[in-house]
Structure 1
C-alpha cells in the first residue's frame, strides 16, 4: 500500500510540474509575440523566461525543491548546476528506494 501511495504522489507531482511548465511556456510565448521577437531571439527569450518562471524543471529535470535549495544557498554557475544535479539524483534515488522497499 505504501508503494502505491508513493508512486501516486510521485506521479501527481511530476504531472503538476509539466503542467506548470506548459503554462509558463505559453505565457512566455505570448510575451515574445508582444515584443515582436522571432527566430533565435524569440527562442532565447522564451527559454530564459520559462527558467525565470520556475519552469527549469521541464528543461533540466530539476525539481522545484532543488531549485529553491540552490537559491536559498545563493549558488550560481557551476556550483548551482552541481548542487541541482546531486539534489535531483538524491530525490530520484529516494523515490526508487521507496518503490523497491519490501512490503510489510
Structure 2
C-alpha cells in the first residue's frame, strides 16, 4: 500500500512538473513586464550599480498622456468631417471642437 501511495505521489509530482511551462507562458501583468524590461536594460551591471538601477527603473512612473491641444482636436475633427459639406460640416466642426475629450 505504501508503495502505491509513493508511486501515485511521484506521478503527481511528475505531472505538476509538466504543468509548469504552461504557467510560464501565461500573460504578464504590468509589474511583470516592467520587471522584464528593467532586467533586460540592466544587462552588464553588477552589484550595487545593478541594485540601484533596478530600484530606480522599477519605481519609475509611466509617462503621462499628452494633453489634447486645440491643434490636435482640429486635426481629428477635420478627419472625422470628411465627406460633409456646407452647413452640415460647419455644425459638425462646431460640435466636435467644443466637445470635452
TM normalised by structure 1 equals 0.31
Q: Which has the larger radius of gyration?
A: 2
TM normalised by structure 2 equals 0.32
Higher relative contact order (CA 8 A, sep 6+): 1
